[in-house]
């Protein structure tokens, strides 16, 4: 079936790269990027773009009708660290946008929805290692509360109204194409920019803080693979655990030193340490691997190599 896709939150970290990949697959005119603000030139110039407030159901619906949209990917969200600074705003944005999109699907304006959950849906009482798909989930951040609530809204709309909504619990996502935006795992992106530019980085998490992570290319591929899977293979309608790699800031710094031997790291943990400490260290994603054949491509070394190579080329060309 040919699809026309609307991306809400396309100017964000994941939204931008997801839009690029979807435009390659479905054709530029079939992927409508949108955000509350303009995106970078690559996003704005590679296909249709609309300004949309993701909490405004009527605004979303008008664009859905204008382009005859068949699928919505909802990427607009306030992440964990910013969410702790603006709890009410985080809740309002994260929940109203999801409910607006689920309602649009319930009313049959679109036939499929993607919405990301996160490892933030877990909490301090969750088993930390090889965290199972089904386990104790008592999140301690507003972002995490919005994610666990959202997961159950997705499941509810699927069970009650037959909405084909699909979701992944993203780990920290790492890319060199854009700067991080308000998350606790952002250090793992920031560190590469600083390593290339300044040769040194002060990390806001302690050296031994292990977290689940993933390279952007794997995250984008997982998202599209999940959306393209046969509906009968989707057994989890809350959100699938998803995993690739895990490391501590110290291990990441050691990896970067393989390519940049003079790189120096120092540690000054701030309020984000407590958030990181409440999350799992490693994730069991065997259900995603079994149900729709997910597998990741990048390990820590191939990811670091790819990022450093690209950032160095960008520096030479700028
Ligand atoms: C964050 O750190 O808030 C996000 C996430 C793990 O969902 N990157």
The mean pLDDT value for 287-309 works out to: 98
Among 172, 245, 246, 278, the mutation site with the greatest number of ligand 1 atoms within 8 A of its Cβ is 172
User: Does 123 score more than 90 pLDDT?
Assistant: yes
Q: Does the beta carbon of 80 sit less than 6 angstroms from any atom of ligand 1?
A: yes
Residue owning the nearest CA to atom 4 of ligand 1: 183
Please state the atom number of ligand 1 nearest to the C-alpha of residue 185: 2
Ligand 1 proximity of 183 Cβ (cutoff 6 Å): yes
CATH number of 5-172+214-241: 3.40.50.720
> Is the pTM above the cut of 0.95?
yes
Rounded distance from Cα 124 to ligand 1 centre (Å): 15
What's the 79 CA to ligand 1 centre distance in angstroms? 6
Q: Which of 173, 210, 271 to mutate to test the pocket of ligand 1 (most atoms within 8 A of CB)?
A: 173
Task: Give the separation between CA 151 and CA 173, rounded to whole angstroms.
Answer: 19
Active-site choice (67, 73, 114, 143) = 143
- Residue with CA at minimum distance from ligand 1 atom 1: 183
In angstroms, the CA 180 to CA 75 distance is: 14
Q: Is 239 in the pocket of ligand 1 (CB under 6 A)?
A: no
The answer to whether the CB of 117 is under 6 A from ligand 1 is no
Over the stretch 225-266, which tens digit does the pLDDT of each residue have? 999 999 999 999 999 999 999 999 999 999 999 999 999 999
- Cβ atoms of residues 9 and 76 within 8 Å: yes
Q: What is the pLDDT of residue 119?
A: 98
> Nearest-CA neighbor of 9 among 70, 91, 94, 69?
94
Q: Which whole-number Å values give the CA distances from 52 to 76, 97, 216, in the listed order?
A: 10, 11, 24
Q: Verify whether ligand 1 is closer than 6 Å to residue 118 (CB atom).
A: yes
Q: Is residue 120 in contact with ligand 1, taking CB distance under 6 Å?
A: yes
Span from the CA of 118 to the centroid of ligand 1 (angstroms) = 7
Domain ranges of the chain: 5-172+214-241, 174-213+246-280+299-317
Phi, psi (5° rounding) for residue 47? 165, -175
Instruction: Report percent pLDDT > 90 for the chain.
Output: 97
317 pLDDT more than 80? no
The CB density around residue 303, as the number of other CB atoms within 10 Å, is 28
Indicate the pLDDT class of residue 1, thresholds 50, 70 and 90.
low
- Give the DSSP letter string of 152-216: HHHHHHHHHH---EE-EEE-EEE-SSS---S-STTHHHHHHHHHHHTSEEEESS-TT--EEEEEH
Query: How do residues 45-68 score in pLDDT, each as one tens digit?
Result: 999 999 999 999 999 999 999 999
Are 240 and 133 in contact, with CB atoms under 8 Å apart? yes
**pLDDT tens, 185-228?**
999 999 999 999 999 999 999 999 999 999 999 999 999 999 99
Q: Say if ligand 1 is within 6 A of residue 79 CB.
A: yes
Model confidence at 181: pLDDT above 90: no
Residue 315 has a pLDDT of 83
CATH class of the domain whose range is 174-213+246-280+299-317: alpha beta
**143 has catalytic annotation:** yes
Closest residue by Cα to atom 6, ligand 1, is: 172
What band does 316 get if pLDDT is binned at 50, 70 and 90? confident
């Amino acid at each position: 079936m040919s699809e026309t896709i609307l991306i809400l939150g396309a100017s964000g970290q994941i939204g931008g790269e997801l839009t690029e990949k979807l435009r390659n697959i479905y054709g530029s005119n079939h992927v409508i990027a949108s955000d509350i603000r303009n995106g970078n030139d690559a996003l704005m110039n590679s296909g249709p773009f609309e300004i949309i407030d993701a909490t405004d159901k009527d605004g979303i619906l008008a664009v859905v009708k204008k382009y005859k949209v068949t699928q919505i990917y909802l990427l607009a969200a306030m992440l964990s660290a910013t969410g702790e600074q603006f709890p009410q705003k985080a809740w309002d944005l994260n929940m109203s946008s999801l409910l607006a999109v689920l309602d649009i699907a319930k009313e049959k304006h679109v036939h499929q929805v993607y919405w990301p959950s996160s490892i933030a849906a877990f909490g301090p009482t969750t088993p930390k290692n090889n965290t199972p798909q089904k386990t104790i989930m008592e999140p301690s951040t507003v972002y995490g509360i919005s994610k666990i609530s959202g997961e159950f809204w997705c499941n509810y709309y699927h069970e009650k109204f037959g909405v084909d909504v699909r979701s992944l619990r993203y780990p920290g996502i790492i890319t060199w194409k854009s700067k991080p935006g308000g998350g606790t795992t952002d250090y793992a992106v920031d560190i590469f920019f600083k390593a290339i530019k300044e040769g040194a980085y002060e990390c806001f998490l302690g050296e031994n803080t292990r977290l689940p992570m993933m390279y952007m290319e794997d995250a984008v591929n997982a998202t599209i693979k999940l959306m393209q899977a046969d509906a009968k293979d989707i057994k989890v309608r809350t959100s699938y655990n998803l995993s690739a790699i895990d490391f501590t800031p110290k291990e990441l710094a050691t990896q970067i030193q393989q390519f940049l031997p003079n790189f120096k790291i120092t540690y000054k943990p701030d309020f984000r340490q407590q958030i990181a400490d409440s999350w799992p260290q490693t994730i069991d994603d065997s259900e995603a691997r079994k149900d729709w054949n997910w597998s990741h491509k990048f390990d820590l070394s191939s990811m670091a190599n790819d990022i450093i190579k690209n950032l160095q080329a960008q520096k030479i060309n700028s």
